[in-house]
Amino acid sequence: MSTYNGWSNYATWRINLEMFDDYNVWDKHLMADVYELSHHLRDTAEVYIEESAPEGLARDYALAFLSDVNWYEIAQHLIAEYAEEETEA
Predicted local distance difference test score (pLDDT) of residue 24: 85
Q: What are phi and psi of 23, to 5 degrees?
A: -70, 135
Q: What are phi and psi of 7, to 5 degrees?
A: -105, 165
Average of per-residue pLDDT across 8-22:
96
State the pLDDT confidence band at 84, using cuts at 50, 70 and 90. Answer: confident
Predicted local distance difference test score (pLDDT) of residue 2: 67
- Domain ranges across the chain: 10-88
- Three-state SS at 14: helix
The predicted-structure confidence for 47-75, as pLDDT tens digits, reads as follows 999 999 999 999 999 999 999 999 999 99
Tell me the C-alpha distance between 42 and 38, whole Å. Answer: 6
Mean pLDDT computed over every residue of the chain: 93
